[in-house]
Amino acid sequence: MIHLEGLTKRYKKAERNAVDGISFDVRAGEFFALLGPNGAGKTTTISILTTTLSPTSGAATIDGHDIVREASAVRRIVGIIFQRPSLDMNLTAEENVRFHAILYGLYPYAPSYGLMPVAYREQVQGLASLLGIASEIQKPVRTFSGGMRRKLEIVRSLMHRPKVLFLDEPTAGLDVPSRRTLWDYLRTIRRESGTTVFLTTHYLEEAEEADTICIIDEGKIVSFGTPERIKSDLVQEYVLVDAEDRPRLREELARLELRSDGDGPFRVHVDSRHTHAALRAIDTPLTLVRTHMPSLEDAYLEIVGKVSE
Amino acid sequence: MSEVSAVLTLAHRDLIKLLRDRARIVSDFAFPLIFIGILGTSLQSGFGPTSNINLLHFVFTGVLAQTIWQSTALGVISLLMDREQDFSQEIFVSPISRYSIIFGKILGESLVAFPQFIAILAFGIILGVPFTLEKIVALIPAALIIAVYGGAFGVLVLSRLDNQRQANQIFPFVMLPQFFLAGIFNPIQNLPWFLDILSKIAPMRYAVDLMRDVYYAGGPSVPIFDLPTNLAIISAEFAVFMVLGTAGFVRAERNR
């Protein structure tokens, strides 16, 4: 669905590339998370993919459309939730949605809500109730809370049924309950429409739900894969074992061809699925068994820490 | 068809913004009324008797053109403010053509200028500026041309600026000299050669002169160029401003 090849962006007067030759693919229907610390190049990447910024070099396509040469075709099939809200405060919630729908060519222009086609009104009401803002839809956006504004932006971005929904740090500035409900809604939307979701975040727990995570730092890909793979690749998963008779245990671990290090307690490098079998194979009476299963947060901190060192 | 809808939508948004912003309505109407009511009236009562034209009428026609022209020019430049409020992100990621965005903005700001045109006209009538119905009808297309011309000038300026702060800083230099170079309140017939060159560069001059062509048609020879000449210059400049401005604006948006 999304294909990047050597995508690079250097801003005018910048000394280094904001995005530095990144390449990856996102499958249709996938939940993809671009994770990285502030200034890693996440927003730049999204801006290029959504055609509001030209790449310096490299190429990218969305659903087969080149983002530079076929920008208009790309814009038609993507929806975006910007990092900073992009609602017009002078308008009501519904006017914001209506103007979006008309700009996307979904309905012809009509000067008021009442004059818009029934299909439009049903679609707005349907999405607004899905996100729980149906009763406020005719009110000025100015009166909305941060959470409601985000929900309204989601309603708006879904009006043209995008194939890919880009979300640039969508929960920034939201309180915990709003953040949680937002995720629930996104899950529902994804399940019901099969939309590909491309998310940027620096919150790990948000990325942990993704099908694929791409971690970038200083414009470069640091790690790529499923959350499990990133964990296993980057943070060691091991079982810490110890025994009264350490030499015997060491010898036994070697005989069983279990990779281990330490002089006791020993770190045995097995992944969680094979821990049980490994432990059963050991005859030496153990005095300590402790599994070490890092969270993605550990992995992330380790990666980002490593890079900045 | 969808491009037409998009243009109408952008224009509609501008009109809503005007109607919901009371402070702006007041300030939009206050300045022309001060210029005409105080400056125009006092010039006429002081110098009018020794001059061979009515100075109130002179200032009135100048301010009418200037207000419309400047209103659309400044309005188009407000796209910069949109960019800062991140609303233009929403416009710029939509699949409509960049030209539609600019056209929608110019149309919207022309609609916004129209109530000002009506208000100033009404004020002129109250002050006793003579009008016939035919003259009022003839002023409407002139006002429209001036509005669109101002919008094109706005696009050109917009394409050279990065943010609203820059716009606020540069505006006194772009607008204020034009007030005098365009001859809104002052004569520009016999300027020294260097001011004459500057005056002929100032786009607002042709807007003002066009308005006077229409208002003084068949009367005193106040306008400098005749109607076809002004129209030709305005059309040519409109085309140049639009092409350079839109191209520059779109490029500036994407190549940061």
The confidence band for B85, taking pLDDT boundaries of 50, 70 and 90, is low
Closest Cα to residue A200, out of A153, A168, A165, A173? A168
Per-residue pLDDT averaged across B58-67, rounded? 92
In a domain, A231, yes or no: no
Q: Judged by CB atoms within 8 Å, which residues 32-61 of A form the interface with B?
A: 50-54
| Domains identified in chain B, total number | 1
Q: Is the model more confident about B255 or about A292?
A: A292
Say yes or no: A161 and A214 in one domain. Answer: yes
Closest Cα to residue A125, out of B111, A4, A235, A116? A116
CB distance A90–B255 less than 8 Å? no
Quote the CA–CA distance of B57 and B124 in Å, as a whole number. Answer: 8
In a domain, A304, yes or no: no
pLDDT in tens, B39-60: 888 888 888 888 888 888 899 9
Residue with tokens 């310096």: A56
pLDDT in tens, B199-211: 989 999 999 999 9
Query: Would you state the pLDDT for residue A305?
Result: 66
pLDDT in tens, B124-136: 999 888 888 988 9
| Domains identified in chain A, total number | 2
Quote the CA–CA distance of B8 and A99 in Å, as a whole number. Answer: 10
Query: Would you state the pLDDT for residue B64?
Result: 93
Nearest CB to B6; choose among A88, A91, A102: A102
Q: Judged by CB atoms within 8 Å, which residues 11-30 of A form the interface with B?
A: 11-12
Whether pLDDT at B153 is above 90: yes
Per-residue pLDDT averaged across B175-184, rounded? 89
A138 touches chain B (CB under 8 A): no
Determine the residue of chain A that is closest to B19 in CA distance: A90
Q: Judged by CB atoms within 8 Å, which residues 93-112 of B form the interface with A?
A: 93-97
Percent of chain B with pLDDT over 70: 95
Say yes or no: A35 and A145 in one domain. Answer: yes
Query: Would you state the pLDDT for residue B230?
Result: 92
Total-model pTM: 0.76
A105 touches chain B (CB under 8 A): yes
Query: Would you state the pLDDT for residue A296?
Result: 67
Question: Which residue range forms the structural domain that includes residue A16?
Answer: 2-225
Query: Would you state the pLDDT for residue A5?
Result: 92
Most confident of A93-102, A144-153, B71-80, B85-94: A93-102
B87 touches chain A (CB under 8 A): yes
Computed over every residue of chain B, the mean pLDDT equals 86
Question: Which residue range forms the structural domain that includes residue B185?
Answer: 2-254
Q: Is the model more confident about B83 or about A130?
A: A130
Query: Would you state the pLDDT for residue B219?
Result: 79
DSSP string, A139-205: SBGGG--HHHHHHHHHHHHHTT--SEEEEESTTTT--HHHHHHHHHHHHHHHHHH--EEEEEES-HH
Say yes or no: A220 and A251 in one domain. Answer: no
Quote the CA–CA distance of A35 and A222 in Å, as a whole number. Answer: 10
Query: Would you state the pLDDT for residue A119?
Result: 92
Q: Which residues pair with A268 in a beta bridge?
A: A239, A260
Query: Would you state the pLDDT for residue A309?
Result: 43
Query: Would you state the pLDDT for residue B255?
Result: 64
Say yes or no: A180 and A135 in one domain. Answer: yes
Tokens of A32: 């993809």
Cβ-proximal residues to B231 (8 Å cutoff; 6+ apart), any chain: B145, B210
Residue of B1, B3, B4, B9 to mutate for A, most A C-beta atoms under 10 A: B9
Say yes or no: A216 and A118 in one domain. Answer: yes
3-state secondary structure of A60: strand
For residue A290, report the phi and psi dihedrals to the nearest 5 degrees. Answer: -140, 125
Say yes or no: A137 and A257 in one domain. Answer: no
Cβ-proximal residues to A38 (8 Å cutoff; 6+ apart), any chain: A202
Whether pLDDT at B75 is above 80: yes
Q: Are A249 and A243 in contact (CB under 8 A)?
A: yes
Q: Tell me the chain B residues in contact with residue A109 when contact means C-beta distances shorter than 8 Å.
A: 4-6, 8-9, 12
In a domain, A307, yes or no: no
Q: The domain spanning residue A210 has which CATH number?
A: 3.40.50.300
Which stretches of chain A drop beneath a pLDDT of 50?
Answer: 307-309
Query: Would you state the pLDDT for residue A235?
Result: 67
Question: How far, in Å, are B97, B241, B253 from residue B246 at the CA level?
Answer: 11, 8, 10
In a domain, A200, yes or no: yes
Q: Tell me the chain B residues in contact with residue A90 when contact means C-beta distances shorter than 8 Å.
A: 13, 16-17, 20-21
Query: Would you state the pLDDT for residue A90?
Result: 84
Nearest CB to B13; choose among A11, A12, A91: A91
DSSP string, B151-185: HHHHHHHHHT-SSHHHHHHHHHHHHHHHHHHTTSS
Say yes or no: A100 and A128 in one domain. Answer: yes
Q: The domain spanning residue A253 has which CATH number?
A: 3.30.70
Say yes or no: A289 and A259 in one domain. Answer: yes
CB distance B86–A82 less than 8 Å? yes
Residue of A87, A102, A168 to mutate for B, most B C-beta atoms under 10 A: A102
CB distance A52–B254 less than 8 Å? yes
CB distance A109–B4 less than 8 Å? yes
Question: How far, in Å, are A17, A177, B2, B157 from residue A110 at the CA level?
Answer: 45, 37, 12, 32
CB distance A109–B90 less than 8 Å? no
For residue B105, report the phi and psi dihedrals to the nearest 5 degrees. Answer: -65, -45
Determine the residue of chain A that is closest to B101 in CA distance: A103
